[in-house]
């Protein structure tokens, strides 16, 4: 006997992965140069030189046992301190190593936080469009995901929708800014309004309502845009961070959960995260990568290549008649599907080996996502197909 629910999850790949696998099959049939794969958000710029240097010097100069050995579950305290020191410098906070728990990326950080907060009947709110894996992370870890409709067409926070969704069962609100898939950065003004709403609701229901701020794209911004730091805006904030995109190391699996020092029951919340991580088999984040991110805490990605792709795609698609919000961060475009049915449009695009992700699993079935972290020459080869597709729909 096996757990059929888990087998079902294993069998059904995410629609993004499905498309990516399809792209590989097609490439074998028609040639890589004839497949235009905009499916995955896999960083396409190399890791900054500081990352490679940190790895090389660690294995060359340090004691092998300490470089590769187990650390405490939360991670090496000195390296956690280096990460919080960088945050304190940037945001004027007073965080210490005790506020940070190194995880194997944002995904397990989110799972641990949800599991830590979920009690009988707990609800967690996310606003569409949202990272599709939230559904799995929340619904299989003791919570229920409640989806708030999008704030069209700007994709800021739908405050009225949030207000309507919050009730006595609400334990957390998951936000993601810069956002995957829209690239929108939630403005300080909107976030302050959300904070005020949650503070009011905490009083009404008599328990904390945490903001779970999922931030893999915090450092990926254009035109020097500022990403407000949620712990400075709302007391009950838990940040789920990832270095995957910022340092182009998604396969190295390193991130953290950060419990703001202003959180209600701060120590108990951290204990619960440590316990939840233990339940999902966390022992420690990779030791070598803890060292890398500690040493590279102040390193920011070189956004030039992503910015060129963003502008090339945004400008060209706008010229062809597509509409989408201009991304301020991350590396995606979220585009209104001609015909208002993104599944149908994505299937039509597939006939041209143009692989774009329907927004359905993000909670917006009339939009599609394209990743802009791709090779510039592929963009050039793909653009005539985007133009022709729009013509077909006119
Ligand atoms: N959250 C969002 C919004 C993401 O886009 C991703 C990855 O694409 C993750 C979480 C998971 O990131 P990680 O690779 O750190 O687990």
- pLDDT the model gives residue 373: 97
Tell whether ligand 1 has an atom less than 6 A from the beta carbon of residue 171.
Answer: no
Tell whether ligand 1 has an atom less than 6 A from the beta carbon of residue 109.
Answer: no
Taking only the tens place, the pLDDT of each residue in 335-365 is: 999 999 999 999 999 999 999 999 999 999 9
Taking only the tens place, the pLDDT of each residue in 244-296 is: 999 999 999 999 999 999 999 999 999 999 999 999 999 999 999 999 999 99
- Token digits of residue 55: 């790895």
| Closest C-alpha among 103, 72, 141 to residue 277 | 103
Q: Distance, CA 216 to ligand 1 centroid (Å)?
A: 6
Tell whether ligand 1 has an atom less than 6 A from the beta carbon of residue 293.
Answer: no
CA angle 39, 187, 125 (to 5 degrees): 65
What percentage of the chain's residues is helix, strand, coil (to nearest 5)? 45, 15, 40
- DSSP letter, residue 32: G
Q: Which of the listed CATH numbers 3.10.50.40, 1.10.10.10, 3.40.50.720, 3.40.640.10 matches domain 50-295?
A: 3.40.640.10
At what angle are helices 376-393 and 304-320 packed, to 10 degrees? Answer: 20
Tell whether ligand 1 has an atom less than 6 A from the beta carbon of residue 214.
Answer: yes
Contact between 162 and 125 under an 8 Å Cβ cutoff? The reply is yes
- pLDDT the model gives residue 42: 92
Name the region of 121 (left: φ>0; alpha: ψ -120 to 50; beta: rest): left
Q: Taking all residues of the chain, what is their mean pLDDT, rounded to a whole number?
A: 97
Q: How confident is the model at residue 18 (pLDDT cuts 50, 70, 90)?
A: confident
CA 309/CA 82 separation, integer angstroms: 33
- Token digits of residue 230: 């949620």
- pLDDT the model gives residue 354: 97
- pLDDT the model gives residue 162: 98
Q: Distance, CA 272 to ligand 1 centroid (Å)?
A: 22
- Token digits of residue 326: 């201009």
Residue with structure tokens 């619904």?
A: 139
Nearest CA to ligand 1 atom 5: 180
Closest ligand 1 atom number to CA of residue 110 = 10
Backbone angles phi, psi at 240, to 5 degrees: -110, 110
Q: How confident is the model at residue 14 (pLDDT cuts 50, 70, 90)?
A: confident
Residue 13 has pLDDT above 80, yes or no: no
Contact between 216 and 108 under an 8 Å Cβ cutoff? The reply is no
CA 202/CA 236 separation, integer angstroms: 10
Taking only the tens place, the pLDDT of each residue in 118-168 is: 999 999 999 999 999 999 999 999 999 999 999 999 999 999 999 999 999
- pLDDT the model gives residue 90: 96
CA 346/CA 357 separation, integer angstroms: 7
Domain ranges, ordered by start, for the chain: 4-47+302-393, 50-295
Tell whether ligand 1 has an atom less than 6 A from the beta carbon of residue 216.
Answer: yes
* Whether pTM exceeds 0.95: yes
Strands 123-127 and 170-176: parallel
At what angle are helices 49-61 and 287-295 packed, to 10 degrees? Answer: 130
Q: Distance, CA 78 to ligand 1 centroid (Å)?
A: 25
- Chain centre distance of CA 29: 33
Q: Which of the listed CATH numbers 3.40.50.2300, 3.90.1150.10, 2.60.40.60, 3.40.50.720 matches domain 4-47+302-393?
A: 3.90.1150.10
Contact between 218 and 178 under an 8 Å Cβ cutoff? The reply is yes
Tell whether ligand 1 has an atom less than 6 A from the beta carbon of residue 131.
Answer: yes
Of the residues 16, 39, 107, which should be mutated to test ligand 1's pocket, given the most ligand atoms within 8 Å of the CB? 107
Tell whether ligand 1 has an atom less than 6 A from the beta carbon of residue 42.
Answer: no
Tell whether ligand 1 has an atom less than 6 A from the beta carbon of residue 180.
Answer: yes
Tell whether ligand 1 has an atom less than 6 A from the beta carbon of residue 179.
Answer: no
């Amino acid at each position: 006997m096996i757990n059929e629910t888990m087998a079902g999850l294993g069998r059904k790949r995410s629609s993004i992965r499905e498309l990516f696998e399809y792209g590989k099959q097609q490439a074998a049939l028609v040639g890589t140069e004839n497949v235009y794969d905009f499916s995955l958000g896999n960083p396409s710029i190399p890791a900054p030189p500081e990352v490679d240097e940190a790895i090389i010097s660690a294995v060359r100069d340090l004691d092998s046992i300490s470089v590769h050995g187990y650390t405490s579950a939360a991670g090496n305290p000195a390296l956690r301190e280096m990460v919080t020191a960088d945050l304190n410098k940037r945001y004027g906070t007073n965080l210490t190593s005790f506020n940070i728990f190194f995880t194997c990326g944002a995904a397990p950080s989110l799972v641990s936080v949800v599991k830590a907060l979920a009690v009988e009947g707990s609800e967690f709110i996310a606003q569409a469009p949202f990272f599709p894996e939230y559904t799995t992370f929340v619904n299989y870890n003791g919570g229920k995901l409640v989806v708030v409709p999008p704030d069209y067409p700007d994709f800021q926070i739908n405050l009225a929708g949030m207000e309507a969704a919050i009730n006595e069962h609400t334990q957390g609100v998951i936000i993601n800014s810069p956002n995957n898939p829209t690239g929108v950065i939630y403005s300080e003004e909107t976030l302050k309004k959300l904070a005020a709403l949650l503070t009011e609701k905490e009083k009404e229901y008599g328990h904390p309502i945490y903001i779970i701020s999922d931030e893999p794209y915090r450092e990926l911004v254009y035109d020097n845009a500022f990403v407000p730091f949620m712990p400075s805006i709302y007391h009950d904030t838990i940040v789920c961070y990832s270095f995957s995109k910022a340092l182009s190391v998604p396969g190295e699996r390193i991130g953290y959960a950060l419990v703001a020092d202003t959180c209600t029951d701060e120590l108990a919340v951290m204990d619960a995260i440590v316990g939840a991580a233990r339940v999902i088999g966390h022992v420690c984040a990779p030791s070598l990568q803890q060292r890398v991110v500690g040493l590279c805490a102040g390193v920011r990605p070189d956004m030039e290549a992503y910015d060129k792709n963003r502008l090339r795609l945004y400008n060209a698609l706008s010229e062809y008649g597509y509409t989408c919000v201009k991304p301020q961060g991350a590396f995606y475009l979220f585009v209104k599907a001609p015909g208002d049915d993104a599944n149908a449009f994505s299937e039509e695009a597939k006939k041209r080996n143009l692989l774009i992700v329907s927004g359905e699993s993000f909670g917006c079935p009339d939009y599609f996502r394209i990743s802009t972290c791709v090779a510039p020459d592929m963009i050039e080869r793909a653009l005539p197909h985007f133009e022709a597709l729009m013509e077909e729909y006119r």
